[in-house]
Amino acid sequence: MLPSQYYNIIDAIVYLIAVIIPAYFILKSRNSINNNDSTHLRKLTIILVGFILLQVLYHVIGTFGFRLLAKGFLEPLSMVALLLFGVMYLISTFKAKKQQQQEFNT
């Protein structure tokens, strides 16, 4: 094995460890009260978990030597997931600020 393949394996393991906390949060929040704030937070967390799992898949596929698949398909797909996370975060932040302003004005 080449040293870069070892780094890909280590990166995949680290990403798998990192996905434990958000996945645990999703499982625990499923039983909570389904208000609007928790659904936004759950959606954000699901997108974050999807991004992390795409990164794991990217590193595993890269380890096996499928560089074209990893770089050409999975890397742009993970960037789309990260951008989707950012857009959803901005939308939820703007909605929360708007709601706070409405509560402050009344």
Structural domain contains residue 11:
yes
Determine the pLDDT at residue 39: 79
Name the one residue in this structure whose structure tokens are 């890909």: 8
**What DSSP designation does 58 have?**
H
Number of domain units in the chain = 1
Domain coverage including residue 70: 3-99
| Distance from C-alpha of 14 to C-alpha of 35, rounded to nearest angstrom | 33
pLDDT of residue 21: 94
pTM of the model: 0.83
Assigned domain for 22 exists? yes
pLDDT at position 37 is 63
Give a yes or no: residue 46 inside a domain.
yes
Tens digit of pLDDT for each residue in 32-78?
A: 656 666 778 888 999 999 999 999 999 999 999 898 999 999 999 99
Q: Answer whether 50's CB lies under 8 Å from 58's CB.
A: no
Residue 105 in domain: no
